[in-house]
Structure formats: C-alpha cells, structure tokens
Structure 1
Amino acid sequence: MTKKNEPIKPAATEEKAADSEQAERKETLTGESVASKKEAGSDEAVYTLTAEEFAAAKAHIESLQKEKDESVQLLQHIQADFDNFRKRNANVRLDSYEEGKRDTMKELLPALDSFDRAVSSAGENCDKPLLEGVQLVQRQLLDALKKLGLEEVEASGQFDPNLHEAVLREKADGKASGDIVEVLQKGYRVGEKVLRHTMVKVAE
C-alpha cells in the first residue's frame, strides 16, 4: 500500500520527459512528411537545365524556326508561281479568243466584197426592191462585224505600206508622188491588227 505524501521517483519523471520528447519528434516528423507530400503534389514543376542541355534545346528551337521559315518561303514561291500561271492562262485564253474572232471576220471579208460589187454594179434599170434587200443584208452583216471590232482602213492621202498595198502606179494630175489615186479593194482592221491591206492605185 502506497503511503501518502510519498515523493515522486525521478525515474518516472525522466520517463515522462522522454515520452514527451519522442511525441514532439514524431509530430515534427509527421509535419515534415505532410509538407513534403504537399510539395511533391504541387501542379508546378521546376526543372533545372545544365549548360549542355540548354544549348541543345536552343539549337533545336533554332532548327525548328529555320524549317518553318523555309516552309513559309516555299509556300510563297508556290503561290507566286500559281498566280503567274493563272495570269498567263488568262492571257492565253484572251489571245486565243481574239485570234479566233479575227480569223472568222477575215473569212467573211470576201462576202463584204461581193456585196460591194453587187451594189456598185447595179444600174438604173435594176430591180430596186432587190437592190434594197441586198443593201439591207450588207448593212446587217457590216454592223455585226463592227460590233466585234471590225474597222475599214482609211485610204486617202499618202500611201502607207503598213495599211495599203500598191498594185498599180500611174501619173495623175493634181496628185503628188505616192498619193493614193483609187481604192481597188477595201482593207479592214481590228484594233491595231490589219486583217487585210487596202489595195490601191498610187500616183507616180
């Protein structure tokens, strides 16, 4: 039986102190463990590169940038080539259309010549309704060709080898040398293109 007012043994005090110190140490270790877990579970990761790794990464980025620039330049060249091809193709189509139009009108020039001869050869005793019908068809054909750009080559004044073809030369009173005396066959043009030179008689 324990006696009252018996003094506490030093061994028990030391044991409690050891237990308290161990608990504090355990709590400290537990807190550090939790902090480590929180830090390990963080969304942000920090990497430290060595000088060699940084140089390699920089070289790789520069290589990718160079490849991108080369690809952009290649695409720009391809786009420019395509635009030039499209323009050339449009010009070729336009030239083909204009050439076909000129060829068609050139084939119709003999018909205009026939109308001119028919009208000019009609005498006073000709059938007037028939002559008027011929003149009507002549005007319709000529108007249609004019809408396509056909123009009659002017044949007056001095002879122009770019527009006229001299088939005869003769002396003519009141005419200087090289003056056009008479038109033997009309000439026609479309813009700057001469379909047929005007056949003329020129003064000597």
Structure 2
Amino acid sequence: MYLIVGLGNPGGQYAKNRHNIGFMFIDELIRSSGFGPERNKFQSVMSEGTVQTAKGPVKALALKPQTYMNLSGNAVKEAAAFYKIDPDHIIVYHDELDLAPGRLRMKLGGGHAGHNGLRSIMSHLGPNFVRARMGIGHPGQKELVHSWVLSDFYKADTWVERLNDAAVSALPLLLAGETEKYQTEVMRLAPAPKLDPKQANPQP
C-alpha cells in the first residue's frame, strides 16, 4: 500500500493558495476512478482507492492533513502507523519555491529547505520518504516568500490544472516503481511554461 499525501492548509481562505497545490493534486486524484468517497480520519480528509498499474492493482490511501501545514507530520504519522506503511511508500506532493512554475521533480529523501510541512513530516518519520516537488516559482526576494506562498495562483496560471491532471494520469508509473518515467511522462503531458527557475509567475 502507498500513502499519497498532499500538503496544504484547511479552510476556504487557503484553497487557491500556492501553498495548497498538494491539496489540489489530492482533490484531482480522489475525483479520478478507483477512489472512494472522502471521510475524516487521521486528522485528515482521506480516501482509499486502487490504482491499476502494469504490475497489477496497487492499493493507495490519499490524504489531506487538516492540521495546518506546520503540523502535517502528526496526521501522516498516524495514517502510516495504522496501515504499517514504510517511509519509502509515502509520497508527499508539495509546493516547491526552487522550481519554476509547472515543473515537477521527484526526490527520495533530502532536507526540508524551510518547508514547514516537510519539516513536520521529517520530525516524525525521518527524511526517507518520496517528495513530488511541484514548482511554484520564487518571488525573487526572501522577505516576499511568506506572502507569495499564501497568496492565490493567478487566473492566468492554467498550468496548475494541467499539471495536476497529468500527475494523476501518470500515477500508475509511479506506483509501479517507475519514478523517472513518471516524472518524464508528467512533463510530457503538461509541459511547464518557459520561465527562468528563479522568476515568479508573470502578472496576467
């Protein structure tokens, strides 16, 4: 079984924030075939499902922690302990400042780079879980980061929906252990806008 986690903050005021792109992915995943209705458990909104892969069906638990970002690890630890899921079968989708908008990069282990959701998960489970890093771009100045991640995507950021659609469509590759192929396929299905990695989204 895989635990697929999307990071974000609960509440309507945060729903369209850049920091909530992980929640947006989970919403799209749950809407896809193979997942059941949402329910509240593990301090989260969750859904159980099955993903059909080339190696056969794989059970998965989709999770949106409702603890707020800086306590995400509490919910992830609870779900992982209940289902006895090892860290290398935990995949965390999160916003990534150091990637250009629309880029997706997979990574096993590493640091948290100041991301409070990752920091919280690492404090409970260690670093060796899988990260699906979803680029949102950088505002260019460190003092602008907080307001950047907690502000909404622009209406012109149509790449967000395309990226989430592609990340869901290609998921059978990831759950079959084809991590590099998954990353490549997502980027093939949803090419990122041609922007410098250190530049934020242009104003519409």
- Scaled to the shorter chain, the TM-score interval is under 0.3
Query: Normalized per residue, which structure has more strand?
Result: 2
Query: Normalized per residue, which structure has more helix?
Result: 1
Which one scores higher on RCO, CA 8 angstroms, separation ≥ 6? Answer: 2
Could you state the TM-score of these two structures normalised by the residue count of structure 1?
0.24
Could you state the TM-score of these two structures normalised by the residue count of structure 2?
0.24
